[in-house]
Amino acid sequence: MWNSMLGQSAVGALTQTLQFTERRHDLISSNVANMDTPDYQTRDLDVKNFQAELREVIENPVNKSTQSPGELAALGDNPDIWKKARDASKQILYHDGHDVSMEEQVTEAAKNQSMHNTAVALLKAQFRTLQMAITENVNV
């Protein structure tokens, strides 16, 4: 019952967002750590795809797949779900074949951290609301 109650509120979506940002942070960190590795190609998770899948699960709860978007993001070791973020400005390969740009990775890490912090703040607010309802005290 507890899982179904949480799954039908914002808590479920926020939890999935935290799982996604955690996995994405791991990949960004790996990109930075391998910056000097010859022929290393950056790996990332597709934020827009995650948001679209999460929206689909929220809007159509009857058609939920057995795996949540956050769980799918946790499968980041599967190359099929890595996103190769390539546009004209990101097509640069360095002399040793790697394509890691420190500036790009720092920017993506900051965006990811912002999404994570927002989800944490909203999750805290959800739990505070639950705590107020349970204790019947608004001064929690």
Task: Domain ranges for the chain, please list them.
Answer: 8-135
Q: What digits encode the pLDDT tens for the residues 58-67?
A: 887 764 445 5
pLDDT at 95 over 80: no
Write the burial class of residue 101 (CB in 10 Å: 0-12 exposed, 13-18 middle, 19+ buried). Answer: middle
Q: Give 73's contacts (C-beta < 8 A, 6+ positions apart).
A: 16, 19, 20, 23, 24, 45, 50, 81
Instruction: Rounding to the nearest 10 degrees, give the CA dihedral for residues 18, 21, 25, 31.
Output: 150
**Per-residue pLDDT at 89:** 37
Residue-by-residue DSSP string for 4-42: HHHHTSHHHHHHHHHHHHHHHHHHHHHHHHTTTSTT---
Mean pLDDT of 73-98: 48
Higher pLDDT, 111 or 69: 111
Question: How far apart (Å, rounded) are the C-alpha atoms in residues 44 and 79?
Answer: 10
**Per-residue pLDDT at 92:** 54
**139 — pLDDT class (breaks 50, 70, 90):** confident
Phi then psi for residue 95, to 5 deg, are -55, -30
Mean pLDDT of 42-50: 89
**25 — pLDDT class (breaks 50, 70, 90):** very high
Mean pLDDT of the chain: 76
Phi then psi for residue 91, to 5 deg, are -90, 10
**Per-residue pLDDT at 8:** 54
pLDDT at 116 over 90: yes
Residue with the two structure tokens 């996604």: 20
**70 — pLDDT class (breaks 50, 70, 90):** low
